[in-house]
Structure 1
Amino acid sequence: MPRKPPVVFPQEQRLLSELGERLRLARKRRKLSNAVVAQRAGISRTTVYKVEAGDPGATLGAYVRVLAVLGLEGDLNLLAADDRIGRKLQDLALEPSPNAKRRKAHPSPIQSREGPA
């Protein structure tokens, strides 16, 4: 019995479709057939078609295998490398809240009330 395909929102489907198209173009630039990519990746030709179509049912492993055959697996290091939102959230957590009361500086017991000696 086939698995139920994952729920994919339109924006995510567009991203997958664009990735698949880039992979298809990369394969064609290298003058490789679907059969050759499938054989080298150790996956079926149907899976290669799914990857190039941006099918959300294709596994991440299949995408990685196709990237590796095309010599593009290093591009995976760029995914989520710059977590701007996470850093902003982290920085916000480090800032004191605007409602926090600031402590007034008290003179230290070593200093006299007349000032330093």
Structure 2
Amino acid sequence: MPATSPALDTEARADLGKLGELISHRRKALRVSAVAAAESAGMSRVTLHRIEHGEPAVTMGAYLNALHVLGLQLQVVEAVGTPKQRQASAEGMVRIDDYPQLRQLAWQLREGAEVTGEEALAIYERNWRHVDEAALEAHERELIDSLVARYGKGHLLV
């Protein structure tokens, strides 16, 4: 019987989901079957399936084995503020690099650039047709919602 999943906050759950997707995409890009990858990593196909779906009850060691057999390694980086701090940035300056869709829309701005909340909303509004709504991360969706509420003048992006 699988282990009980630990309680995760929204951002941690999203990170695990992204990690699982990365593992799945890499395996498929290499054209390695799930059975072959699982055997190489010393786990069952079911465990690999659970990893690829970002299940938190799977051990970190199993995640690392799956990464390594696919030629990947885990790198830990310091988060830029807490989710509340990132949302609060909507009230002041917005760091472009903290929001993947905004980074793509504002490709011409230097790395580490910051814009005001009004400027960020204007970038989203001008370029909304280029936003992949399905790929919006929760913290970026929260930013957009807070920008619309504060600066939107009754306009809705979606």
Taking structure 1 as the reference length, the TM-score comes to 0.62
Residue in structure 2 matched with residue 36 of structure 1 by the alignment: 36
Quote the offset at 1:9 in angstroms: 1.3
Secondary structure (helix, strand or coil) at the match of 2:58 reads: coil
Deviation above 3 Å: which 4+ runs of structure 1? Answer: 82-85
Structure 1: how far apart are the matches of 2:18 and 2:71?
18
Structure 2: how far apart are the matches of 1:62 and 1:7?
19
- What's the CA shift string for 1:53-85, capped at 9, x where partnerless? 000011100110011110112xx2x313x5888
Residue in structure 2 matched with residue 52 of structure 1 by the alignment: 52
CA-based RMSD of the aligned residues comes to 1.9
In the alignment of these two chains, the number of paired residues is 81
Residue in structure 2 matched with residue 9 of structure 1 by the alignment: 9
Structure 2: how far apart are the matches of 1:22 and 1:2?
23
Secondary structure (helix, strand or coil) at the match of 1:18 reads: helix
Q: Residue 14 and residue 72 in structure 1: after superposition, are their counterparts in 2 closer, same or farther (change >3 A)? A: same
Q: Residue 72 and residue 2 in structure 1: after superposition, are their counterparts in 2 closer, same or farther (change >3 A)? A: closer
Structure showing the higher helix proportion among its residues? 2
Quote the offset at 1:7 in angstroms: 0.4
2:12 is the alignment partner of 1:18:
no
Unaligned regions of 5+ residues in structure 2, if any? Answer: 82-158
Q: 1:79 aligns with which of 76, 91, 98?
A: 76
Quote the offset at 1:3 in angstroms: 3.5
Are 2:3 and 2:58, in contact at CA under 8 Å, matched by a contact in 1? no
- What's the CA shift string for 1:9-28, capped at 9, x where partnerless? 12111111011111100000
Q: Residue 41 and residue 2 in structure 1: after superposition, are their counterparts in 2 closer, same or farther (change >3 A)? A: closer
Quote the offset at 1:4 in angstroms: 2.5
Q: Give 1 or 2 for the bigger CA radius of gyration.
A: 1
Secondary structure (helix, strand or coil) at the match of 1:46 reads: helix
